[in-house]
Homo-oligomer: A and B are copies of this chain.
Amino acid sequence: MRGGPAVVLVEPQLGENIGTAARAMLNFGLTDLRLVGPRDGWPNAKAVSAAAGATDVLDGIQIFDTTAAAIADLHHVFATTARQRCMLKQTTTPRQAATEMLNHFAKRERSGVLFGRERTGLNNDDVTYADKILMIPINPAYGSLNLAQAVAIISYEWFQASTNSCTSPVPEAVTAPATQAELENFFRHLLAELDGCGFLYPAEKRPAMTRNIRNIFQRAGLYQHEVQTLHGIVSELSKPRKTTRNGPPAPQS
């Protein structure tokens, strides 16, 4: 999705992180990657190999000397930080920020997210350029989030917000869900066989037992071909065997 938020990595140290960040961005439809003073310069072979073919992103990458230059064309800037800063800025979450950025996008206003150095994060000067602070909620006992993972989370939330993805039903199948009549027909078959072998004995327990059995299959949301399979299973199991596990061959009539 061109036009999505820009990802701005401020003085990234490891080429691997730049590459995996680019890959995560493209996974979630982002392509505007900007680097501010990458430690090892650019291009970076390690970044290319770590990007695993996310060339759309690396080809369009822009390099800047300063954070100010990197965000010059943006309307809204978020600064990711692991800890609360002593700044009078509103703090938001990845999910809220994604919705806000989507609203900006709808108004043709460009957004960007600043990510800091692997070890030290963004410094206060970087954060000053941001309208809001973006904190990824994280385990307080272990807050060391990998740079590319942070980019992945933000990109993921953007993609969630921009594509209203929701739980899908079972995929279209060649078969249709079984009707209650088809289910009922199977129950009749099964219960007849179970009566035949005395499983539903004694009589006073029969109603509860049949309810139990019915619940099992009722809950499964069976499809027609599955009901056929179950018919087949019951029929086959019910036939006399040439050999049984319980004794010598039982002669056939």
Contact = CB atoms under 8 A, between A and B. Distances in A.
Interface of A: 1, 20, 23-24, 26-29, 52-54, 56, 84-86, 88-93, 95-96, 136-139, 142-146, 148-149, 152-153, 156, 159-160, 163, 165-171, 173, 190, 192-194, 196-199, 209, 212-213, 215-217, 219-223, 225-226, 229-230, 232-234, 236-241, 243-253
Given A90-B168, A212-B226, A213-B229, 9 more contacts: A26-B139, A27-B138, A28-B139, A156-B156, A194-B237, A216-B226, A237-B237, A238-B241, A238-B244
A64 B225 CA distance: 35
Nearest to A192: B245
A101 to B, nearest CB: 14
A25 to B, nearest CB: 9
Contact of A237 (B92, B146, B197, B226): B197
A172 to B, nearest CB: 10
14 contacts: A23-B144, A27-B149, A28-B138, A96-B166, A149-B152, A153-B156, A196-B245, A209-B229, A213-B233, A237-B237, A240-B240, A248-B253, A249-B253, A250-B250
